[in-house]
Chain A
Amino acid sequence: GAVVSQHPSRVICKSGTSVKIECRSLDFQATTMFWYRQFPKQSLMLMATSNEGSKATYEQGVEKDKFLINHASLTLSTLTVTSAHPEDSSFYICSASQAGLGGAFFGQGTRLTVV
Chain B
Amino acid sequence: LAKTTQPISMDSYEGQEVNITCSHNNIATNDYITWYQQFPSQGPRFIIQGYKTKVTNEVASLFIPADRKSSTLSLPRVSLSDTAVYYCLVGGVDSSYKLIFGSGTRLLVRP
Binding site for B on A (CB under 8 A): 1, 4, 6, 30-32, 34, 36, 43-46, 49, 51, 91, 93-95, 97-109, 111
Q: Known contacts being A106-B43, A109-B41, A109-B43, is A46 close to B99, with CB within 8 Å?
A: yes
Number of A-B contacts (CB under 8 A): 66
A1 contacts across to B, CB distance below 8 A: 46
Q: Closest Cβ of chain A: how far from B97's Cβ, in Å? A: 8
Whether B99 lies near A104 (C-beta < 8 A) is yes
Whether B102 lies near A98 (C-beta < 8 A) is no
Q: Known contacts being A44-B101, A49-B96, A95-B99, is A105 close to B46, with CB within 8 Å?
A: yes
B99 contacts across to A, CB distance below 8 A: 34, 46, 95, 104
Within 8 Å by CB of B44, from A44, A99, A100, lies A44
The prevalent SS among residues of B at the interface is loop
| Interchain CA distance A30-B96 in the complex, whole Å | 10
B43 contacts across to A, CB distance below 8 A: 4, 6, 93-95, 106-109
Q: Known contacts being A93-B43, A106-B43, is A46 close to B49, with CB within 8 Å?
A: no
Q: Closest Cβ of chain B: how far from A53's Cβ, in Å? A: 13
| Interchain CA distance A45-B87 in the complex, whole Å | 13
| Interchain CA distance A104-B93 in the complex, whole Å | 9
Whether A46 lies near B93 (C-beta < 8 A) is no
Please give me the residue from chain B that is nearest to A36 by CB atom: B101
Whether B87 lies near A98 (C-beta < 8 A) is no
- 26 A-B residue pairs with Cβ-Cβ distance under 8 Å, sorted by A, are A1-B46, A6-B43, A30-B95, A31-B95, A31-B96, A32-B95, A32-B96, A43-B87, A43-B101, A43-B104, A44-B44, A45-B101, A46-B98, A49-B98, A51-B96, A93-B43, A94-B43, A95-B43, A97-B95, A101-B93, A102-B93, A104-B46, A104-B99, A106-B43, A106-B46, A107-B43
Whether B42 lies near A103 (C-beta < 8 A) is no
